[in-house]
A and B are shown apart, each in its own frame.
Chain A
Amino acid sequence: EDQVTQSPEALRLQEGESSSLNCSYTVSGLRGLFWYRQDPGKGPEFLFTLYSAGEEKEKERLKATLTKKESFLHITAPKPEDSATYLCAVPYNNNDMRFGAGTRLTVKP
């Protein structure tokens, strides 16, 4: 079955300690991979869309990359305000989106 798996489930970093979050997918015929940020008690907020292997996108301290089987969200020199849950999602069938369970990131000052 097509699915999306994120790892790790939780990640604790010190401020300034760079790391990466992983999103692996098995859906065939990828039509895009989406990254969202979700703060506690709020709805997800869109970050990036990647469409083809080798593509990269950046926003402040975040950089998303895509291969044929997975995507990475690299966080460089994170700050406490980067603490959130990061979700990835891929289109499934024609009209719906399949989400991973998310990585809960905590950045300590």
Chain B
Amino acid sequence: NAGVTQTPKFRILKIGQSMTLQCTQDMNHNYMYWYRQDPGMGLKLIYYSVGAGITDKGEVPNGYNVSRSTTEDFPLRLELAAPSQTSVYFCASTLGAVDEQYFGPGTRLTVT
């Protein structure tokens, strides 16, 4: 099993551009999450999904959108990128709501 994979690993965006961060898991997990991690800060939840077709906002959803059309994939869309979205983004998955989460390797995004 590859676990949780994320692409790209690095990306530089100009202000106002858009992009999609890809996340795929091959563990047949129901729950998937997107977090951002800023230097010296913990992980902040952006969006999560409890199954295909079901998504909900986390703690910091503004400026982002998600979709979950399959169990495996949970892409994160950034529209009109802003410098405040410069961060490291992690995708995670888990079988149940209160189980340990499996994290991807992260995407380091810089918006200039």
Please pick, from B40, B50, B100, B103, the residue contacting A43 in the complex, using a CB distance under 8 A: B103
* Beta-carbon contact of A46 and B45 below 8 Å: no
Closest to A41 in B: B106
Q: Is the CB of B103 within 8 A of A44?
A: yes
Complex Cα–Cα for A89 and B92 (A): 14
Which B residues are CB-close (under 8 A) to A89?
43
Q: Counting CB contacts under 8 A, is B74 at the interface? A: no
A49 within 8 A of B: yes
Docked Cα-Cα span, A96 to B104, in Å, equals 17
Nearest residue, chain A, Cβ from B91: A43
Interface residues on A, range: 20 to 34
Contacting residues, chain B, for A91 (C-beta < 8 A): 97-98
Question: How many B residues are at the interface, by size bracket?
Answer: 20 to 34
Chain A residues with CB under 8 Å of B50's CB are: 95
Residue of A nearest to B104 (CB): A43
Q: Digit string of B37-50 for contact with A (CB within 8 Å is 1, else 0)?
A: 00011111100101
A44 contact set on B, CB distance < 8 A: 43, 90, 101, 103
Name the interface residues of A23-62: CB closer than 8 Å to any CB of B. 31-32, 34, 41-46, 49
B41 to chain A: which residues have CB within 8 Å?
Answer: 101
- Which of B43, B45, B92 lies in contact with A87, CB distance below 8 A? B43
Q: Does A102 sit within 8 A of B, measured CB to CB?
A: yes
A101 & B40 in contact (Cβ 8 Å cutoff): yes
Q: Does B56 contact A (CB under 8 A)?
A: yes
Binding site for A on B (CB under 8 A): 4, 31, 33, 35, 40-45, 48, 50, 56, 58-59, 90, 92, 97-98, 100-106
